[in-house]
A and B are shown apart, each in its own frame.
Chain A
Amino acid sequence: MGRFHRHDDGTAHDHEHAGDHVHDTGDHSGYATGGERVEVLERIFDENDKTAAANRAEFAAAGVRVVNLMSSPGAGKTTLLRETLGRLAGQVRVGIIEGDIETSLDADRLAGFGAQVALINTGNGFGGECHLDAPMVRSALSRLPLAELDLVLIENVGNLVCPAEFDVGEDARAMVYAITEGEEKPLKYPVMFRSCGLVVVNKMDLLPYLGFDLDGFLDNLRKVNPGAEVMPMSARTGEGVDAWCDWLRARL
């Protein structure tokens, strides 16, 4: 009696099962069905990635560089963006794509700093999406005058998990990490920390008040992303913001 089944290594085959031999691994869901099996082998993120490629091509055609800025909620993305816009005004033409589940609060905080802001509310469906994906960013493109911009900063939804999974067509990924979050975060959210070329270490002005172990954090970061550039900062006091602006200029 030949039995079709699949092992955890992904191989599928038919073979004789001797006597009462029992497998405890492998997917035996095939036993229950007499139905046909259709091979698919299609990547689930294909459609997102195709749209991301289209976004990237459109940004490139307009001569715009794009940075996807990610963090947990409250790490200081919006404060950093405000400081950034103030410093780059008159030198670099900046557009902002602002992802927010429900409100325009962050976009409002950025109003009046000379940048074009396109807000994406992700609050459709079940309580709102936790990330920006490529089609959402695509929907914002028509609301930004790309031809008149040098740089687009995407403020992703505050979340250390989901945004890391979605290519939106950016040229670089940066994350804002706040020292109030604890040293172990790179180990808990390795996909996010691995996906970013630059990690801004924010709220350094609070260092005297926290038992934060900076070396321990950097050690953990190195374990998941040895190549990451690290930039200490206090967006509130302005420490490190010039270095960040230089980093942005170097993208152009």
Chain B
Amino acid sequence: MHELSICGSIADIVTRHAAGRPVKVINVRMGQLRQVVPETLVYCWELVSAETPLAGSRVSVETVPARISCRSCGHVTEVGAVPVFVCGGCGGFDAEVVSGEEFLITSLELDEEGAST
């Protein structure tokens, strides 16, 4: 359940960027290799944001599949549901992760109606 503490970090970042404006949606980009459960993150956000100025906003998670690039043959392999870091081209083990480790807030969608009331 590190989703709760992650929501604390999200709240800090969102509060800073929103600068007092009402937030409707927080867009999060998350790589497959991040061990965060999107549904749990969404639920924890409700708990963490309740009774704060961010109450009512929701987290929208976009997931990014994991890909590895082989240092031997250059082949890029999409890592499957069971993450095995073996090159799909040559079977080599010397591969670097090129995507799937992202975990960032990409943007906020502000609530203009909320702002005017």
Q: Compute the total of residue contacts between A and B using a CB distance below 8 Å.
A: 127
- Whether A36 and B104, one on each chain, are in contact in the complex, defined by CB atoms closer than 8 angstroms, is no
Contact with A along B11-32 (1 / 0, CB 8 A): 0111001100100110111000
Main secondary structure of the interface of B (DSSP, over half): mixed
Of the listed residues B1, B108, B112, the one surrounded by the most CB atoms of chain A closer than 10 A to its CB is B1
- Whether A224 and B84, one on each chain, are in contact in the complex, defined by CB atoms closer than 8 angstroms, is yes
Cβ–Cβ < 8 Å partners of A126 in chain B:
1, 4, 47
Complex A-B: 20 CB contacts under 8 Å: A29-B25, A33-B110, A33-B112, A35-B109, A35-B111, A38-B108, A39-B106, A47-B12, A125-B4, A126-B4, A126-B47, A129-B1, A129-B2, A129-B5, A133-B5, A161-B2, A165-B35, A187-B83, A224-B85, A226-B93
Instruction: Using known A-B contacts A131-B2, A133-B5, determine if residue A44 contacts B10 with beta carbons closer than 8 Å.
Output: yes
Instruction: Using known A-B contacts A29-B60, A33-B24, determine if residue A165 contacts B2 with beta carbons closer than 8 Å.
Output: yes
Chain B contact residue count (CB 8 A cutoff) = 45
| Interface bin, chain A | 35 or more
- Whether B2 and A37, one on each chain, are in contact in the complex, defined by CB atoms closer than 8 angstroms, is no
CA distance A48 to B13 in the complex (A): 12
- Whether B85 and A190, one on each chain, are in contact in the complex, defined by CB atoms closer than 8 angstroms, is yes
Contact with B along A158-182 (1 / 0, CB 8 A): 0001101110000000000000000
**Cβ of B39 under 8 Å from chain A:** no
